[in-house]
Amino acid sequence: MIETSYNGLRGVVNDGDIALIGGRTNWVGKIIQRMTGSEWYHVGICFWYHGALLYIEAYPPHRRIINLSAYRHSTIGLIHTNLSEDKFNRLMDYTTKGLGSVSYGYKDLITIWLRERVGIDLGDPKGQVCSEFVSKAMAEVGVLPRPMSVSPKQLERHLAEAGYRVTVRSGE
């Protein structure tokens, strides 16, 4: 794994790469880290637009696009997806459909925790948390075999099983 600064990370990010976020966070992120036993509390998809490194994410209250630099003081784990141009275009079609309208799944946080830590499966609530969003998007383009309602930690594990691992890390 390559350890680098945020600027070093910018030099290796490709369209469609997945960025896991850990380290410095607010109380919600700390709860997610504790509930899931993971260093990661958030995940989204990177892409370039006119020289800006952007990040599409499911974040309360809905799906949005921000500059990845908003997380430059956090730990960022980068997973290269090596998408073709066609797959990246399909990914962007899928991910941008729900911008500003797909509700964040607060109930999903508890449902995922119960499933992963206690073994109780309540099904899939109607909202969408960050890791569900990325899972569904990656299943849409064939990176993952099927969409899953999982935590960032479990998403990282499923991606590793499919051959996609954190290869670059920046921050703290």
User: Do residues 20 and 77 touch, judged by C-beta distance below 8 A?
Assistant: yes
Per-residue confidence band for 127, with pLDDT thresholds at 50, 70 and 90: low
pLDDT tens sequence across 62-85: 889 999 999 999 999 999 999 999
CATH number of 2-170: 3.90.1720.10
pLDDT tens sequence across 12-35: 999 999 999 998 777 778 888 888
pLDDT, averaged across the chain = 87
pLDDT tens sequence across 101-123: 776 666 666 667 666 666 666 56
Q: Which two tokens stand for residue 139?
A: 């299943």
- C-alpha to C-alpha distances, 155 to 7, 69, 130, 148, nearest whole angstrom: 25, 22, 10, 8
- Quote the pTM value: 0.89
Domain parsing of the chain, residue ranges: 2-170
Using the predicted structure, report yes or no on whether residue 139 has a pLDDT greater than 90.
yes
Using the predicted structure, report yes or no on whether residue 6 has a pLDDT greater than 70.
yes
